[in-house]
Structure 1
Amino acid sequence: MKGRNILIVDDNKLTRKILKDILENAGYGVLEAKDGEEALQIYRNKLPDMVILDIVMPGMNGFDLLRILRKEEENLMLPIILLTSQDNFEEKIKGLELGADDYLVKPFNDKELLFKVNNLFQRIEHNRMANPLTGLRGNIDIKEEIKRRIKENKPYAILYIDLDNFKSYNDYYGFLRGDNVIKLTAKILSDAVNLIGNERDFLGHIGGDDFVIITTPDKAEEMCKYIISRFDEEIKYLYDDEDRKRGYIETISRTGEKMMFPLVSISIAIVTNEFRDFKNDLEISAVAAELKKKLKIMDGSCYLKDRRKS
């Protein structure tokens, strides 16, 4: 779980220190807030991966903050653990009804805290792994992440990636070999994010041969060039020797007509907020769809960036 950041929200300085020491010794990064208002500000600026939240605080209490966080759709998968000083059944029920994932009763011990934190991260991550073939995060997470980036109002670039001539490959070689093409694509995209991208870049699998990368505008085109270069080189080895040498596959249609399909290629549509402001993910999807139409009439692997202004 290295690299995960946890926000501790508690008005008691000693409690925060105890929690911080335990979590940092386990390899987690820690952010601290002494009340709900400060926590909300830190959360929106730093986007921690989990919140450990005391119920009883002056001003905005834990329930109030929990209610605010869960009201925003992009926070629905955020892991939240409630802290309570009393083993109060009604308090626990109320917290769980408001959307808390678990609770911890003070005083707690190191093992119990880390057990709950680790288990919750694993459970949330398992739920996010919506695509069993690639292990990449799916549609819900993709939409949440796009909405999060829009709210942040910082520069972002969204790469919509899909394959050309994949259906003909799947029909010709069968779905098991088609799965290998999808896995290869996921590996190349993952490598592109790790080698070229930023720490907070996002990779998701919409489904089928459609993927999304969220990065920053300064990384987008370099990432596209890397992806295209690697894909065009490696896809050849997922064809039989004869087809690879020929440069296409040949099939017979239902009407008996001979049909030829080029090797699978990759197309990437880049949508950024450099030149226009987007209010929601639907506006971004609409621009991406326009770019994809243009990409489909281009030969081979290519990318296209939207440079139009609002």
Structure 2
Amino acid sequence: MTTEPHGSAAEVILVVDDDPDIVRVVEVNLRLHGFDVMTAHSGAEALDVLENRRPDLAIVDLMMPGMDGLELTRRLRADPMVTALPIIVLTAKALTSDKVAGLAAGADDYVVKPFDTSELIARVRATLRRNQEAREVSPLTGLAGNTRILREIADRLKSGTDYAVCYIDIDRFKAVNDVYGFGRGDQFISSLARSLRRATVAAGLPPAFLGHVGGDDFVVVCHPLQLKPITTKAILDFEAAADELYDPIDAARGYLEMVDRRGKVFEVNLVTLSIGVALSTMRVFEHPGEVVAVASEMKTKAKKVHGSYVAIDQRTDRLVLPSQREPESDAAAEAGSGA
């Protein structure tokens, strides 16, 4: 495995191939054309590399022992943190079926071995250009942004399958920024992204979608049966991670101290999560914007409850969740502390 330090403006390419000669040739040519390069010699090693650094594109050999390129591609597409990563697959076979298999697994393009390096460089540049134009990605979290979020919800609407849309944000996040500054605030946002990622990956199939609206706002799109495991795990994970981000004195006493304009000191509780949920099983939505509006409305209701809380739209009687208590008002289904 080879990794380069951050700080370079060059786009980073991950090369995954079990043949060290192929890796060396591709790496040298990419560097000659101004790219930064990370390398891995197996699918498992590639997943380890991605835990520490996110590339701009991956070149993946299909024919590898153990986890082959198809399985690696499927796993990358199922991981919210790298689901938008452009992938070019390398195949030693010119058969149409192998090309189709790579594209069906989620690859953006393919190159057949033996390949001309100038063709590979051209395809890398073209794929990067297409993806930069088509996918907006949060620079802080690496997650898909508003356009991709709405497209995901629209796809669910068209498919006719059941889905849940969760709108998530951090309670009292402004206080964190005011006390610690934006740098620490970004750490809380990144921590929430990681917690949500772990929760969505742990939920298994079908793959849940995770997007970053901006600031401390996130959206998860999943199957209704995945709703409780995802929200419960995310809340518990984030609250534990957030405790480590506070100054020790604030974490120990359980609140932040702030000063108002008149110089009076007052207490602000530590952060929690508010999650609003819209369900396709409750009503028929005509447009992605309607789904987001309902989820946002429920998030506002969740903020009225102390502690981390999940508020689900309950305005029809078509859905009964076994894990869901009777609603106190329009909202129900709690998870985490204080609910």
Measured against the shorter chain, the TM-score band is: 0.5 to 0.7
Query: Alpha-carbon deviations, 1:189-228, whole Å to 9, x = none?
Result: 1111111142432111000000011110010111101011
Q: Give, in angstroms, the shift of residue 148 of structure 1.
A: 1.1
Letter in 2 for 1:176: G
2:138 maps to 1:131: yes
2:35 maps to 1:28: no
Query: Alpha-carbon deviations, 1:137-172, whole Å to 9, x = none?
Result: 111111111111111111111111100010010110
2:290 maps to 1:283: yes
SS at the partner of 2:283? Answer: coil
SS at the partner of 1:238? Answer: coil
Give the Cα separation in 1 of the matches to 2:104 and 2:241.
41
Q: What pairs up with 1:83-122 in 2 under 5 angstroms?
A: 111=116, 119-122=125-128
Deviates more, 1:198-207 or 1:147-156: 198-207
2:238 maps to 1:231: yes
Give the Cα separation in 1 of the matches to 2:138 and 2:168.
16
Change (3 A) 1:113 1:243: same
- Counterpart for residue 222 of structure 2: 215
Give the Cα separation in 2 of the matches to 1:303 and 1:217.
13
Q: Does the 8 Å CA contact 1:248/1:260 hold for their aligned counterparts?
A: yes
Change (3 A) 1:151 1:237: same
- Counterpart for residue 196 of structure 1: 203
Larger Rg: 1
2:162 maps to 1:155: yes
Query: Alpha-carbon deviations, 1:115-142, whole Å to 9, x = none?
Result: 6665554444444252111111111111
Give the Cα separation in 2 of the matches to 1:226 and 1:120.
39
Q: Does the 8 Å CA contact 1:157/1:215 hold for their aligned counterparts?
A: yes
Give the Cα separation in 1 of the matches to 2:228 and 2:120.
41
SS at the partner of 1:298? Answer: coil
2:192 maps to 1:185: yes
SS at the partner of 1:213? Answer: strand
Query: Alpha-carbon deviations, 1:223-243, whole Å to 9, x = none?
Result: 101011111112111111111
- Counterpart for residue 249 of structure 2: 242
SS at the partner of 2:281? Answer: coil
How large is the RMSD of aligned CA atoms in angstroms?
3.0
So what's the TM-score if we normalise by structure 1?
0.65
Report which of the two has the higher share of helix.
Answer: 1
Change (3 A) 1:274 1:120: farther
Q: Give, in angstroms, the shift of residue 266 of structure 1.
A: 1.0
Q: Does the 8 Å CA contact 1:160/1:210 hold for their aligned counterparts?
A: yes
SS at the partner of 1:178? Answer: helix
Give the Cα separation in 1 of the matches to 2:208 and 2:131.
17
So what's the TM-score if we normalise by structure 2?
0.60
Gapped regions of structure 1 (runs ≥ 5): 6-16, 32-47, 53-103
Query: Alpha-carbon deviations, 1:5-26, whole Å to 9, x = none?
Result: 9xxxxxxxxxxx94525536xx
Count residues in correspondence.
227
2:277 maps to 1:270: yes
- Counterpart for residue 37 of structure 1: none
Query: Alpha-carbon deviations, 1:20-74, whole Å to 9, x = none?
Result: 25536xx71449xxxxxxxxxxxxxxxx76599xxxxxxxxxxxxxxxxxxxxxx
